[in-house]
Chains A and B, each alone.
Chain A
């Protein structure tokens, strides 16, 4: 970490700004040519508040808050003389958006997530000038494998419209892996709906705390009941509870005779598999 910080500081001497200053054309001038866009923008776009809001310093020039100075473009009508965030390198385009939106709670941890690392720009999902389709419905256009998992028989009801990807994931960032959203401080978003699994329990099942729900469940959809990663309960449990070598998960005592169906359905006895308040063996 120190090494890369040092390298970064070394480069700092050569750092330069990609911001621009100078003269401004003003919204009225933009409106002269881009009448339809400007009308709709000023009427219903939340960004139009920039035109009157004195705090951010873009009053009477809301268009230029994102597009930069439009003076040269206005003089020549040349498209290349104005910044088009849709055609900029992603990091530069996003910088425009993040200069205002960086601190919204959902943006926390942005650089740690796949969208920032994969150069998925803000405008890939959010049309700026007009209201487009709900961004929460667009994830499947890139995440096709996950989208089709919801067509499996045991799945979260995303295709039924009961929930969206954004109910579990924070597409803008997050501190948990796979951009899983957090709830009540730092609980994983799964507990938002599955509150009875929350705990803390007097007797915890360790994977719940160390690996999360994904240790046993396929969160998008599965051909296995309860969206388990394996078709039978015994297989799910015994792959960890094998008692060989290091790692958590000891072997069940010998009276667990797998030839009997009682012992092939582990959760019939170990019913409080997510954690128990009463029994150390998670029996009640």
Chain B
């Protein structure tokens, strides 16, 4: 795991010098090796849920880049592949095109989505059961292709296709009257998305028109043919509730058509405007059936032996959204921005569920239920902000945001049928940039709170974020961030209080331009305190929900080159470390050490050790520790 922004900081120093190095027309890199994994100690399922790296031969990375190739088909070509060979996240990217004629971008990703944690959604944990009743093990495969025709011309047509599919297995409860039974589930969902449009680029205005369509399916299935006891303990009238067999199927199909228009225009030399309009019409159509046998409870007093359900449902959710923004620069040092965003949609649905309850030795009982629901949501946001360049280095800004809207829900025993949101927000901030070596900014927003949808929504809040970044010395760059959010909701019997604080600092030291050593360190301290009253359902009494999370996170990497020679071996040590105290204490360590030995300018070998360890003092069964050793070869041409 290379720190993702290490390259960014490293290049920041290099970016001071804008003289480019002459590039080769063809560049090829190949990074391959073998990973050995010690048998994970602790819980293997938790290891798979969090890390999931396996052993075996791997292709860690391969890149091919061609620039300026005289070829009738393309003049640039970029191909890259990452993490192939049974890795949890696999990726392939391709990009090629011919200047002024066309450009193609494509990628493919394959992600393992394993999640099985013994303590999660496990009503049997206190009995010693370690079955996560909401676990899954699918793979998601996503691919994306986008073609741009005549890039750089005034008219640019483009087309894109995207696919996202997940197939796998898992465990999910089958909920029958009075009990729930963990059963095997097969997951199978997929979306195909097509879109196409045209960009029109005029001298003072740009217009984009796009139309798209998607189709998706979700064919989840729950099945079991063996007797399962369920979560309800004990006997009911001397008999245990059991599930003997279940076959439950969802057949969800749906789609969405949308149209989108965007406009960006320079109205005058001092005014620019953008507008954005989207209309979409998602819909779903569902067929559902299940057939369960066993011994179930009906109404607390009667037993039945089988349940057959057949359902169908339709839902349509037309949605209209629009935005308008204008940027005005009446004076050289003054500018204003105004933006307005509205999003309105409703979901109108109808569902029919027919059930047949089977009793041993008596006539089945039939039940039909038809419902028609409607959810309506209106959301609006208006924001005005003024910016003043007080000096060449200092910009002050202040503004106002107003959010308002309402939602109407289907009537329910559990919640009110309608609510509204109203949030006046004050905005302020500054940017101070006295030169390329130092920059600082602050961003504040606060609202006295008026109406919000939920007890834990942003209500009466203050939020501040400050950042400072500077080059302390030629070889030393440092940056720091401090942010806080204080949110209160004194109304609604909630007495909700949320305080979060984040303090983060980064240090990047490149002595002698990094020829002998480089140090990159990042530290963050985050704290979250939340108090809110809730009602204990069985007692109808008020209680307080407390949540505390105080975390320290460190990532660091130190690169050492024993000699200044071009082919000097290198040693890297570092890793990441997270420790959190509070409601759910966690320690998660990932140290690493790496030695690299170059054979030539184009080839180097390396050996790497990593350790992954996680411990949760309150949940000792959910921890793991493992060593990883990797030996690899990196070739470059």
Contacts and interface: CB of A to CB of B under 8 A. Distances in A.
A59 interface: no
B4 A245 contact: no
Report the interface size class on chain B: 35 or more
A254 B337 contact: no
B315 A200 contact: yes
Interface residues of A, number: 147
B324 to A, nearest CB: 10
B327 to A, nearest CB: 5
Contacts of A82: none
Interface string A71-99: 00000000000000011011100000011
Contact of A109 (B111, B189, B276, B386): B276
Main SS of the interface on chain B? strand
A145 B436 CA distance: 23
A273 to B, nearest CB: 9
B522 A114 contact: no
Given A43-B23, A160-B1, A240 B454 contact: yes
Given A141-B12, A207-B454, A199 B117 contact: no
Contacts of B448: none
Interface stretch (B32-40, B328-336, B592-600, B626-634): B328-336
Interface stretch (B267-275, B511-519, B563-571, B602-610): B267-275
A141 B4 CA distance: 9
Contact of B341 (A117, A175, A256): A175
Given A185-B258, A202-B315, A244 B457 contact: no
A39 B549 contact: no
Contacts, number: 527
A233 B121 contact: yes
Given A49-B152, A278-B288, A245 B578 contact: no
Contacts of B433: 90, 119
A259 B126 CA distance: 12
B471 interface: no
Nearest to B443: A118
Given A111-B325, A114-B443, A127-B18, 13 more contacts: A8-B330, A90-B433, A147-B5, A157-B88, A187-B280, A196-B218, A198-B254, A202-B284, A225-B117, A243-B414, A246-B416, A247-B492, A262-B180
B625 interface: no
Interface stretch (B237-245, B342-350, B358-366): B342-350
A242 B534 contact: yes
Closest 6 CB pairs of A and B: A103-B206, A11-B330, A244-B493, A162-B89, A245-B492, A185-B258
B264 A108 contact: yes
A192 B164 contact: yes
B48 interface: no
Contacts of A100: 201
B415 A206 contact: yes
A36 interface: yes
B487 interface: no
Interface of A: 1, 4-5, 7-12, 14-19, 36-37, 39-41, 43-44, 46, 49, 53, 55, 86-87, 89-91, 98-100, 102-105, 107-112, 114, 116-119, 127, 129-130, 132-134, 137-145, 147-149, 151-154, 157-164, 175, 182, 184-187, 192-193, 195-196, 198-204, 206-207, 209-211, 215, 223-226, 230-231, 233, 235, 238-265, 267-269, 271, 277-278, 280, 283-284
Given A40-B23, A89-B389, A154-B50, A112 B325 contact: yes
B628 to A, nearest CB: 13
Question: Which residue of B280, B338, B454 has the most chain A CB atoms within 10 A of its CB atom?
Answer: B454
Given A144-B479, A175-B321, A201-B284, A254 B538 contact: yes
Contacts of B268: 12, 15
B529 interface: no
